[in-house]
A and B are shown apart, each in its own frame.
Chain A
Amino acid sequence: MSQAVERAIDRSNMTVSDEVAIQITNMNKWYGEFHVLRDINLTVNRGERIVIAGPSGSGKSTMIRCINRLEEHQQGKIIVDGTELTSDLKNIDKIRSEVGMCFQHFNLFPHLTILENCTLAPMWVRKTPKKEAEEIAMHFLEKVKIPDQAHKYPGMLSGGQQQRVAIARSLCMKPRIMLFDEPTSALDPEMIKEVLDTMIELAEEGMTMLCVTHEMGFARQVANRVIFMDQGQIVEQNEPEEFFNNPKSERTKLFLSQILGH
């Protein structure tokens, strides 16, 4: 599964500050009777690049979806950028506009062009004038290397290009934190690299990132921390070097042997 990252990574901006970006304390979540997230405690500092791994059904997607309240937690506290997530819609919308998210299936808006996809939220949420929003959008589309596709519709683009547009769309809101929910899982191997490269560039600029991914090569090279989850709990977390070379828990060892085994 792992994809080798070929070029050297510029680590000059990849610094972790003391400032807390996300704080999750004693968070629990149930789907009906099913206890999906159990006693999650996680502090993310600004500038951290965290990869969350684990078998399917371990609750890793659910956990990061709680951070921008696509999923509601029932117990505990989540504080994002100093604002606590409660059922207060104003707070939720504020947090969502500062936390960007990329999905496994891109979820671009098929009825809008690439450019319109990128300008929509800045114009309607941030009230940015159209012209300025388009400039911002073109800036980020250039960054993800698809400015020439700006006037096409998502359906005309390849999966990798769509995912890069989705990243650009999130960046147009100038988020302080980016969440990635298996961004490469729906892509052909040839396209995974272009998306990972985009994510690496983002990391190089010092973006705070939480990525649910199976790309262990990415985790090794970019992450400053790898979290392993199973059965709705954080089982182990460590620096990538230690995590991969010297896993402590039996469950982690088993998982790693399975995904790195061939």
Chain B
Amino acid sequence: MSDTTNSLSYVRKEMLDQQPAPRSQVGASRWIRENLFNGWFNSILTLISIFVIYKVLAGSLPWLFGGVWDATSLEECRAILNERFGNTHYACWAVITERWNQLIYGFYPDTEYWRANLAFVLMLVALAPVLFDAVPRKLLWLTIAFPFILVWLVWGGTIWGPLSVAVGFALAGLAFKLTDALDSMAVSAISAVIVAFLWWLVIGPIIVGGLDSALPVGHLQEVESRELGGFMICVIIGISGIAFSLPLGIVLALGRKSDLFIVKTICVGFIEFIRGVPLITLLFTASLLLNYFLPPGTTFDLTLRVIIMVTFFSSAYMAEVIRGGLAALPKGQYEAADALGLDYWKAQRLIIMPQALKISIPGIVNTFIGLFKDTTLVMFIGIYDMLGLSNAIRANAAWNGVYWELFIFIGLVFWICCFAMSRYSQWLERKLRTDHR
């Protein structure tokens, strides 16, 4: 260290400033050279790819954009095409314009379309504060009320039925608060459940029956579940499934990691059973078998049964996705929360879940997208969603033989919804990235 020979000694006189990168290493020309024409082999591949893309587009674009939008049957459509182009190698989009209402609303009475439209708009407003935190927080009240408004708007009847269900939840919350003094989560939870079911099954129906006949406030024409269909039923089942499966998935994930043996066993059993069974089996159970197990005379709406099954199905996947997020959290986060004196539920809510959910966003949205697309499976239990309707439309002599146009349309509708979810999740991930790794 001390007496240095000159060959080893070096002292920097001044520190260097940042220099810009060489010009040839930035910009579009560099990108094209590096990605498309990087050597003779890749250049040939690029040219072949351009040719293939050209061929595909040359074949499909005229079909897509030269189609007929105005006709009342396939025959008429083909006549128009023959007249215009001399052949029928073009799309018949007319089926979509002509059957638009059916594809969107199913067999919903056409005088009541405004209700479905209003519900849809309200849904977007109710979702806004959940999705974007720049939206005023007061709107969350609408989000809470929305499920009940939805039921009232879509299925009709008086406001008393949905209101009674809401009262059940409110009473459960009240019971939970009142038993809070007993300092036992389990006692509070059980008493809340008992109070709610007591209201829903015993007291509520009596009061609702009385109010319905004595004071029919806000009575809308009743619509049966089997009249719902099209895109509307996909949205109802899909959004409900998404909204309920996330909290249920969280509970199941926590239950699976719980130290309490019975809770853990129930959660593991539920997850493994539901995950091990195809969704279609559960849907058949919902449509056919469930009524056998219910007391005779109880009417349990088909849509509700389907929503429950879809929720169960995706919540099992959700639980596993979230468990992955929980496992990815360092043990130190739990310890720090414990060391500060936060109890289990506060630690979960404030420290663990925000981070675990953030880690699991890709998986959660994956499950959401899967669930939304799986709503098309309800066609197998006699609900006319868009796919079911496409069969029904073809069964009509006027549109017998229309395949591509309907499937492309349905595919596009789903793609738009799913792509929107995917983009949203990416935006959310970027927004929540605070660790700056």
**Partner-B contacts on A (CB < 8 A):** 68-70, 89-90, 93-94, 96-101, 103, 105, 107-111, 120-121, 124-125, 153-156, 169-170, 173
B340 close to A96 (CB less than 8 A): yes
Q: Measured between alpha carbons, how far is A7 from B273 in the docked complex, in Å?
A: 66
Chain A residues positioned under 8 Å from B354 (CB to CB): 111
Chain A residues positioned under 8 Å from B340 (CB to CB): 96-97, 120-121, 125, 169-170, 173
Return the contact of B346 from the options A101, A109, A124, A170 (Cβ within 8 A). Answer: A124
B437 to chain A: closest residue by CB: A155
Extra contacts, 20 of them, besides A70-B335, A111-B434 (Cβ < 8 A), are A68-B338, A96-B338, A96-B341, A107-B330, A107-B333, A109-B336, A111-B354, A111-B432, A120-B340, A120-B342, A120-B350, A120-B351, A121-B342, A124-B346, A125-B340, A125-B341, A155-B435, A155-B436, A169-B340, A173-B341
Judged by a CB distance under 8 angstroms, whether B14 is at the interface is: no
B434 close to A110 (CB less than 8 A): yes
Interface residues of B in 145-189 (CB under 8 A from A): 183
A102 to chain B: closest residue by CB: B339
B343 close to A89 (CB less than 8 A): yes
Q: Given A105-B332, A120-B350, A124-B346, check contact A93 B341 (CB 8 Å).
A: yes
Chain B residues positioned under 8 Å from A111 (CB to CB): 354-355, 358, 432, 434-435
Q: Measured between alpha carbons, how far is A237 from B102 in the docked complex, in Å?
A: 85
A153 close to B435 (CB less than 8 A): yes
Q: Measured between alpha carbons, how far is A4 from B273 in the docked complex, in Å?
A: 62
> B429 → chain A, closest Cβ, in Å?
13
Most buried by A among B330, B432, B435: B435
Q: Measured between alpha carbons, how far is A107 from B333 in the docked complex, in Å?
A: 6
B343 close to A93 (CB less than 8 A): yes
Most buried by B among A99, A110, A153: A110
Contact mask for chain B residues 334-370; partner A; CB cutoff 8 A; 1 contact, 0 none: 0110111111001000110011001000000000000
B331 to chain A: closest residue by CB: A107
Return the contact of A121 from the options B183, B341, B434 (Cβ within 8 A). Answer: B341
A89 to chain B: closest residue by CB: B343
13 contacts between A and B (CB under 8 A): A68-B338, A98-B341, A103-B335, A103-B336, A105-B330, A108-B336, A109-B355, A110-B435, A125-B342, A154-B435, A155-B434, A155-B437, A156-B436
Q: How many residues of B contact A (CB 8 A)?
A: 23
> B184 → chain A, closest Cβ, in Å?
10
A103 close to B332 (CB less than 8 A): yes
Most buried by A among B183, B351, B354, B432: B351
> B102 → chain A, closest Cβ, in Å?
47
A104 to chain B: closest residue by CB: B332
B340 to chain A: closest residue by CB: A121
Q: Measured between alpha carbons, how far is A71 from B339 in the docked complex, in Å?
A: 11
> A115 → chain B, closest Cβ, in Å?
13
B354 to chain A: closest residue by CB: A111
A90 close to B342 (CB less than 8 A): no
Q: Measured between alpha carbons, how far is A101 from B340 in the docked complex, in Å?
A: 8
B336 close to A107 (CB less than 8 A): yes
Q: Measured between alpha carbons, how far is A156 from B433 in the docked complex, in Å?
A: 12
B350 close to A124 (CB less than 8 A): yes
Q: Given A90-B183, A156-B436, check contact A97 B333 (CB 8 Å).
A: no
Q: Measured between alpha carbons, how far is A130 from B434 in the docked complex, in Å?
A: 22
Q: Measured between alpha carbons, how far is A124 from B343 in the docked complex, in Å?
A: 10
Q: Measured between alpha carbons, how far is A101 from B141 in the docked complex, in Å?
A: 40
Chain A residues positioned under 8 Å from B330 (CB to CB): 105, 107
Chain A residues positioned under 8 Å from B183 (CB to CB): 90
Q: Measured between alpha carbons, how far is A155 from B256 in the docked complex, in Å?
A: 31
Q: Measured between alpha carbons, how far is A96 from B355 in the docked complex, in Å?
A: 23
Q: Measured between alpha carbons, how far is A198 from B78 in the docked complex, in Å?
A: 84
Q: Measured between alpha carbons, how far is A154 from B351 in the docked complex, in Å?
A: 14
Pairs of residues from A and B, 4 with the lowest C-beta to C-beta distance, nearest first: A97-B341, A107-B336, A155-B436, A107-B332
Q: Measured between alpha carbons, how far is A232 from B346 in the docked complex, in Å?
A: 34
A110 close to B338 (CB less than 8 A): no
Q: Given A109-B351, A110-B434, A111-B354, check contact A70 B332 (CB 8 Å).
A: no
> A8 → chain B, closest Cβ, in Å?
31
> B358 → chain A, closest Cβ, in Å?
7
Most buried by A among B336, B340, B341: B340
> A235 → chain B, closest Cβ, in Å?
27
A153 close to B351 (CB less than 8 A): no
Chain B residues positioned under 8 Å from A94 (CB to CB): 341
A100 to chain B: closest residue by CB: B339
A179 to chain B: closest residue by CB: B339
B432 to chain A: closest residue by CB: A111
Chain B residues positioned under 8 Å from A155 (CB to CB): 434-437
B342 close to A70 (CB less than 8 A): no
Q: Measured between alpha carbons, how far is A120 from B342 in the docked complex, in Å?
A: 9
> B34 → chain A, closest Cβ, in Å?
32
Most buried by A among B336, B342, B346, B354: B336
Q: Measured between alpha carbons, how far is A86 from B86 in the docked complex, in Å?
A: 89
Chain B residues positioned under 8 Å from A97 (CB to CB): 340-341
A124 to chain B: closest residue by CB: B346
Chain B residues positioned under 8 Å from A108 (CB to CB): 336
> A233 → chain B, closest Cβ, in Å?
24
Contact mask for chain B residues 244-276; partner A; CB cutoff 8 A; 1 contact, 0 none: 000000000000000000000000000000000
Q: Measured between alpha carbons, how far is A144 from B25 in the docked complex, in Å?
A: 45
Q: Measured between alpha carbons, how far is A88 from B434 in the docked complex, in Å?
A: 36
A157 to chain B: closest residue by CB: B436
Return the contact of A153 from the options B333, B350, B434 (Cβ within 8 A). Answer: B434
Chain B residues positioned under 8 Å from A96 (CB to CB): 338-341
